Amino acid sequence: MDFESPDVMKDFPGLYASDVHKAKSNDIEYGEDAEKVTKKDILIGKRKEKKDKKDKERGYAALEGESSAEESYEVSPSKSKKSKSFKFPTKSKEKREKSRDKEKEVTEKKKDKDKRVDKKIEKDKCKVEKKEKKVKSEDWCDIAEVLPIFGVNLKLAIEHGRCHDGIDLPVPVRACIDYVEDYGLTFENVYKISAPKSKVIHIKKLYNQREHVNLVDYDVPTATSLLKMFLRDLPEPVFTSELLIRFEEAGAILNVALREKHLKILVGNLPQHNRLLLSWIITHFYNVTLNEKYNKMNAQNLALCMSSTLQTSHRLLTALLCHCPALFPDTVLERYIYPLTSSSQLPDDPELMEQELQKQESLLTQIHSEMNVGFISKQREELLWEVQRIITQLKRKLKTANKDREQLFEKIDEQQNEEIVENTQITQPSPTASYEPETTPVQISENVEETKSVENVTASETIIVPETNVSDSPNLAVLHKQVIKEAEPEEVEFVESESREFKNALEILQIRNGFLSELRDSFIKQIEEDRAEIAVLKNQLTQRDWTPVYGDANCASLDEIMDLLQKENQILQIKKINLVRQIMEQQEACIDLKTKIDAYSKHNLFA
Amino acid sequence: MSKKPVTQPALHKVIMVGSGGVGKSALTLQFMYDEFVEDYEPTKADSYRKKILLDGEEVQIDILDTAGQEDYAAIRDNYFRSGEGFLCIFSITEDESFQATQDFREQILRVKNDENIPFLLVGNKCDLEERRKVSYQEASDRAKQWGVTYVETSAKTREHVDKVFFDLMREIRARKMEENKTNNGRGKDKNKRKKLKCVIL
C-alpha cells in the first residue's frame, strides 16, 4: 500500500494531510484480523500525538531515517517515479517520510497477506539493508515481511519463529528469557534500563529475517528491550482483549486467597499459547524479583516497568508476580537449544538422538512450509539439504545404536544359555546337590524339597504311563528349575562385580524374562506332548471300538472296552492333575525367584 | 595443491526419483556405504554427502533419496528445484514403475524448466532377469526419445551402481562448465538476464 499512496497523492496532493486518507490507509493496513489496538489508536485521529511521538523519536530515529529511508528512495530505481512525486513543500515531505517510516514499521510487523504489495516495500528496505550491511540477499528479506515473528498475533509468531523442542513459544522470547536468566538476574535495574532502540530494531529485523542471533553478543538491556518490544508489538495483549478486564478485576481483589483463586481460573481460561507465554514471562519475572538483593527490582518496580508493555495495570502485574508460584507451579524455564548444524557433533545417546531428530524434523517441516509459501533462496535450499542430511545421519545412527543394543541383548541371552547348558551338565548327575557356595541354606532345602516332590511325581507318572515319554518333560522341568535356581545367584554375582546399578536392574530383568520364557516354552512342550498322547489314545480307542463291534460283539467285550476306557480316562486324569501340580509348582518357584532376584538386587544396591 | 583446504571441492547435487520400492534407497546405500539392505522401508526423504574422486578431481556428491510414494509429493518440488542431476529409477520387474518414469520426467522438466538437465534413466534389479517385465529395448527406446542414457543396475550385486552416479556427475560437471563458459563469455549483463529466463542450450 505504500505504492498506492504516492499515486493517490499525485492525483490529490492535498489528500495526504486529510483524515480521509488516514482512514483509508487505516482500512488497508488493518483490514486484517490481527489488529493492534494501540497502533490503531495512534493512527485514528491522533495525529498530533503521533507528531509528538515522532519528534521525540527523532533523536534516535534520525540516524536510521536518514541513512535508510531517504537514501533508499533516492537510489532505488523503482522509486524514481516517486521522487518525481515529491514535489510537495518540505513540510509535507517530511511528514510523508515520517508516515512512511511509520508504515514501514507497521508493515514489518504485520502482513502476511498483503504480500504482493508489500514485497516492493520490502525490496526497497532490502536495498537499504544492503547498503547498511552489504551481506543480505534479497531472498532473506522476503521472509521478514511474509512471515515475520514480531508484530503478528501470538499464534503466527510461534509458527514463524518456532522453537523446535516442542515448547510453543517464539524463538526471541525463549532467547531473551534464557539470556536474562543466565546473565541478567543480578544485573542492577534489569528491565528498567533499556537499550538504544535502533539496536533493538536491528535485532528484531535479524529475527524476522531468520538470521541467527546470538544475544550473548549484546547486553542485558538489549535482551530485555527486545523482549519488551516483542510483547509490545503483539497485536493483542497477552491477557487477550476479552479477558483483560476480568484479569484487572481479579487483580484488584483485596482478599489474597480469593484473588489467587480468581486469577487461577482466569489463567486457566486463557488460550493455550497465551497461557504458556504468560506463565513463562511471569515465572521469569518472578525469578528476577527473587534476586532483588542484586538487581534492585522488586515486584513493585518490575511491575511498574512492565505494565505498559503488557498493556495492563501495575496492580495486576504485582498480583501475578506475588501469586506466581501458585499460578504457575509447573512452569520450568527450559533452555532452548537450537537444532544442530552440520558442523556440530551428533549426540551418541539414543535418547538425545531421538530428541535431536524431533527437533530437526520440526525444523525441516518449517523449512518446507516456508518454501511452499514461496520463500525460496539458495541458502534455504542449502539448509534444506543440510537438515535433511542431519536427519538421515541421525536415523542411521539411531538404527545402528538400536541394532547394537539388540546384539548386546542377544549376547546376554547367549551367555545365559551357555550357563544353562553348563549348569545342566553339572546338575544332571546329581540334581539335588547344590554345588553353588553362594546359595543360602534355605534355598538348598527348597531345592531338595521341590526336586524330591517333583521326582515323586515323575515316579508315579512313569508307573502309570510307561509307554509315553511324557515322563521326560518333568525331568526337564526339574532341570530347568534347578538351573534357574543356580544360575541366578551366579548371574547376580557377576552383575554385582560390575557394580552398575542401572545395568544390574536391566540385566536382572532380562534374566527373569529369559527364564520365564523358557518356562513357558517347556510348558508348551508338555502341552504339545500331552496333546499328541491324547490323539494317540483316541486313535487307540476308536480302533478298539471298531474291532469289537464288528468282530465279536458280545457283552463281555463291551465291558472290557468300558473298563479300558475308564482306566485310560483315569490315567489321563492323573496325568492332568500331575501337570497342573507341576505348573503350580513352577509358578511358585517363579515367584520365589522373583523375590530372590529383588532381594539380591536390593542387596546389591545397598552394597 | 596448497589451495585445497581453502577452496571447497565442487558439489554436485543428485536426486533419486522413481516409484516406491524400485530400489532408490538400495542404490544410494550401496553407493554410499557398500551395503545392501534387504528389508524394505519406505523413505520419506534422505540426504547423503560423500567425497569422491571424479576423474582425479576431488568432488562432493550430495544425494537426495526421495519418496516414491505419492504421499510426499508436496515436498518433492522443494527438493527437485535444488537438484542438479537426476537418476530416474524403475524396476525392470515392474512395468508400472517404468510407466511412472514418464511422470517423473515431466515433473522434473516442469520444475527445472530445462530440457537438458543431467538425467539418467536407470533400470534397477537387473539381477532378477527371470522376473523381467520391461525389456531392455523398450527402456532404451524411451531414453533415446528423451535424449538421455539408459543404464541397468543391480543394487544387490552392485552392478553399474558406481557407473550411474559417476556418469551423472560427469554430466553435471560438463553442464556446469558449459554454463560458466557462457556466463564468462557474455559478461555480467547476460548473467543477470539469465536469472530471469531459461536458457536453451
**Taking a C-beta distance cutoff of 8 angstroms, is the pair A1, A29 a contact?**
yes
Q: Do B64 and A368 touch (CB under 8 A)?
A: no
**Contacts for A186 with CB less than 8 Å, ≥ 6 apart:** A291, A294, A295
Q: Do A388 and B64 touch (CB under 8 A)?
A: yes
Residue A369, pLDDT > 90, answer: no
| pLDDT for residue A421 | 64
Kindly state the average pLDDT of the residues A344-364: 84
Instruction: State the smallest CA–CA distance between residue A264 and chain B in angstroms.
Output: 43
Q: How far apart are alpha carbons B101 and B122 in whole angstroms? A: 10
Which residue on chain B is closest to A369 by alpha carbon? B75
Residue A115, pLDDT > 90, answer: no
Task: Indicate the burial class of A177 (C-beta count within 10 angstroms; 0-12, 13-18, 19 or more).
Answer: buried
Could you say which residues from 173 to 212 on chain A have a Cβ atom under 8 Å away from some Cβ of chain B? Answer: none
Q: Do A385 and B82 touch (CB under 8 A)?
A: yes
Nearest to residue B174, comparing CAs of B54, B6, B53?
Answer: B54
Q: What is the pTM of this model?
A: 0.56
Phi and psi (nearest 5°) for A46?
A: -125, 45
Nearest to residue A175, comparing CAs of A209, A136, A140, A207?
Answer: A207
Instruction: State the smallest CA–CA distance between residue B47 and chain A in angstroms.
Output: 4
Instruction: Give the pLDDT band of residue A142 (cuts 50, 70, 90).
Output: low
Residue B152, pLDDT > 60, answer: yes
Q: Do B46 and A376 touch (CB under 8 A)?
A: no
**Contacts for A81 with CB less than 8 Å, ≥ 6 apart:** A6
Residue B114, pLDDT > 90, answer: no
Residue B118, pLDDT > 50, answer: yes
Strand order in the sheet with B149-152: B45-54, B57-66, B10-18, B85-91, B119-124, B149-152
**Helix or strand run (H / E) with residue B58:** strand B57-66
Instruction: Give the pLDDT band of residue A111 (cuts 50, 70, 90).
Output: very low
Residue B47: which of A368, A372, A385 has the nearest Cβ? A385
Q: Please tell me the number of Cα atoms within 13 Å of A392 on its side-chain side.
A: 23
**Max mean pLDDT range (A92-96, A310-314, B133-137):** B133-137
Instruction: Give the pLDDT band of residue A541 (cuts 50, 70, 90).
Output: confident
For residue A120, the Cα-to-chain-centroid distance in whole angstroms is: 39
- Chain A residues touching residue B49 (CB < 8 angstroms): 389
**Max mean pLDDT range (A345-359, A586-600, B149-163):** B149-163
Residue B137, pLDDT > 90, answer: yes
Instruction: State the smallest CA–CA distance between residue A117 and chain B in angstroms.
Output: 21
More confident call, A606 vs A172: A172
Mean pLDDT of chain A: 69
How do strand B85-91 and strand B10-18 relate by DSSP bridges?
parallel
Q: Do A368 and B45 touch (CB under 8 A)?
A: no
**Taking a C-beta distance cutoff of 8 angstroms, is the pair A116, A353 a contact?**
no
CB pairs under 8 A between A and B: 35
Angstrom distances, CA of residue A451 to CA of A423, A477, A518, B155:
15, 10, 18, 58
Q: Of A214-218, A263-267, A496-500, which range is least confident?
A: A496-500
Kindly state the average pLDDT of the residues A421-443: 45
| pLDDT for residue B94 | 92
Residue A69, pLDDT > 50, answer: no
**Contacts for A105 with CB less than 8 Å, ≥ 6 apart:** none
Kindly state the average pLDDT of the residues B84-97: 93
Instruction: Give the pLDDT band of residue A280 (cuts 50, 70, 90).
Output: very high
Q: Of A85-89, A246-250, A399-403, A549-553, which range is least confident?
A: A85-89
Residue B101, pLDDT > 90, answer: yes
Dihedral of alpha carbons A280, A285, A288, A290, sign? negative
B45 at interface of A, judged by CB pairs closer than 8 A: yes
- Summarised one tens digit per residue, pLDDT across range A181-203 is 988 888 888 888 888 889 999 99
Instruction: State the smallest CA–CA distance between residue B130 and chain A in angstroms.
Output: 33
**Max mean pLDDT range (A407-416, A556-565, B154-163):** B154-163
Residue B78: which of A368, A391, A395 has the nearest Cβ? A368
Kindly state the average pLDDT of the residues B72-80: 78
Instruction: State the smallest CA–CA distance between residue B49 and chain A in angstroms.
Output: 7
| pLDDT for residue B120 | 93
More confident call, A572 vs A445: A572
Residue A406 neighbours by CB distance under 10 Å: 10
**Contacts for A476 with CB less than 8 Å, ≥ 6 apart:** A522, A525
Kindly state the average pLDDT of the residues A530-550: 75
Residue A551 neighbours by CB distance under 10 Å: 9
- Chain B residues touching residue A139 (CB < 8 angstroms): none
Kindly state the average pLDDT of the residues A431-450: 41
Instruction: Give the pLDDT band of residue A500 (cuts 50, 70, 90).
Output: low
**Taking a C-beta distance cutoff of 8 angstroms, is the pair A39, A237 a contact?**
no
| Grid cell for residue A5 | 499512496
A372 at interface of B, judged by CB pairs closer than 8 A: yes
**Taking a C-beta distance cutoff of 8 angstroms, is the pair A357, A394 a contact?**
yes
Kindly state the average pLDDT of the residues A226-253: 88
Q: How far apart are alpha carbons B25 and B42 in whole angstroms? A: 9
How do strand B57-66 and strand B45-54 relate by DSSP bridges?
antiparallel
- The helix/strand/coil state of A466 is coil
Nearest to residue A431, comparing CAs of A415, A447, A419?
Answer: A447
Q: How far apart are alpha carbons B87 and B116 in whole angstroms? A: 14
Nearest to residue B154, comparing CAs of B56, B12, B30, B58?
Answer: B30
* DSSP one-letter string for A484-550: HHHHHHHHHHHHHHHT-HHHHHHHHHHHHHHHHHHHHHHHHHHHHHHHHHHHHHHHHHHHHHHHHHH
Residue A396, pLDDT > 80, answer: yes
- Summarised one tens digit per residue, pLDDT across range B2-44 is 444 456 788 999 999 999 889 999 999 999 999 898 888 888 8
Phi and psi (nearest 5°) for A308?
A: -70, -35
A400 at interface of B, judged by CB pairs closer than 8 A: no
Residue A213, pLDDT > 60, answer: yes
B81 at interface of A, judged by CB pairs closer than 8 A: yes
Which residue on chain B is closest to A395 by alpha carbon? B46
More confident call, A211 vs A51: A211
B72 at interface of A, judged by CB pairs closer than 8 A: no
- Chain B residues touching residue A376 (CB < 8 angstroms): 78, 81
Instruction: Give the pLDDT band of residue A470 (cuts 50, 70, 90).
Output: very low
Instruction: Give the pLDDT band of residue A607 (cuts 50, 70, 90).
Output: low
Kindly state the average pLDDT of the residues A166-179: 90
Instruction: State the smallest CA–CA distance between residue A354 and chain B in angstroms.
Output: 16
B48 at interface of A, judged by CB pairs closer than 8 A: yes
A402 at interface of B, judged by CB pairs closer than 8 A: no
Which residue on chain B is closest to A388 by alpha carbon? B47
| pLDDT for residue A141 | 46
**Taking a C-beta distance cutoff of 8 angstroms, is the pair A297, A189 a contact?**
yes
Which residue on chain A is closest to B43 by alpha carbon? A392
Residue A389: which of B49, B74, B78 has the nearest Cβ? B49
**Taking a C-beta distance cutoff of 8 angstroms, is the pair A266, A247 a contact?**
yes
**Contacts for A341 with CB less than 8 Å, ≥ 6 apart:** A386, A390
Nearest to residue A310, comparing CAs of A386, A232, A253, A376?
Answer: A232
Degrees, nearest 5: CA angle A131-A135-A136: 90
Instruction: Give the pLDDT band of residue A56 (cuts 50, 70, 90).
Output: very low
Residue B48: which of A371, A384, A392 has the nearest Cβ? A392
Residue A209, pLDDT > 50, answer: yes
- Summarised one tens digit per residue, pLDDT across range A313-349 is 888 889 888 888 888 888 888 888 888 877 777 888 8
